Amino acid sequence: MLNKRVEEALNAQINAEFWSAYFYLSMSSYLAHAGYPGFSKWFGVQFKEEQDHAQIFVNYILSRGGKVTLKPIAEVKTEWTSPLNCFEETLAHENNVTAMINNLYSVALEEKDFATQSMLKWYIDEQVEEEKTVQDTIDNLRLIKDNGFGLYMLDKELGARTYTAPAQLSE
């Protein structure tokens, strides 16, 4: 049976993951409208991954006999100033998500919930990867600045990103 405090923290994280999905769908839409199909596609994949993150938490709560409680998803912004601005805000957001996952892990530690600690390890590793990819893209965009050809090439490169379902959801 799932500890109540852990259950509450996991439910809060489901809401945060759906907010992330909503945030990235909004960025994807902004970038498509601004004429960057590749960056838009990259954020479209991000949108799907965030829904997966939420789904994995839902499945996990249910597998432990817990109750899933879905709360309203807060509004997201719809305007940015450039692809760089989008990636900078993405990094700031992912830093916050990392802090939330770390906090969740602390709750599981305090409550001696070893199964939750074990499942959270995947998220901890995932955050390292997310932050690195976004930081690398920010570095590239800062080098390129307003160079049209550079932006065109990076847009093409990031547009090659494809979605793969995580192992936990692929059966």
7 binds ligand OFO (CB under 6 A): no
Closest-CA residue to 127 (of 149, 165, 101) = 101
Between CA 12 and CA 161 the distance in angstroms is: 29
Least distance from ligand OFO to the Cβ atom of residue 93, Å: 6
Binding mask 79-118 for ligand OFO (x = CB under 6 A): ---------------x--x---------------------
Amino acid in the structure at residue 105: Y
Between CA 94 and CA 29 the distance in angstroms is: 19
Closest-CA residue to 104 (of 134, 127, 71) = 127
Least distance from ligand OFO to the Cβ atom of residue 57, Å: 10
Between CA 96 and CA 90 the distance in angstroms is: 10
- If the CB atoms of residues 23 and 151 are measured against ligand OFO, the closer one turns out to be 23
CA-only gyration radius of the chain, Å: 17
| CB-nearest residue to ligand OFO | 20
Binding mask 32-51 for ligand OFO (x = CB under 6 A): ------------------x-
- If the CB atoms of residues 122 and 153 are measured against ligand OFO, the closer one turns out to be 122
Which residues would be at the binding site for ligand OFO (CB under 6 A)?
17, 20, 50, 53, 94, 97, 130
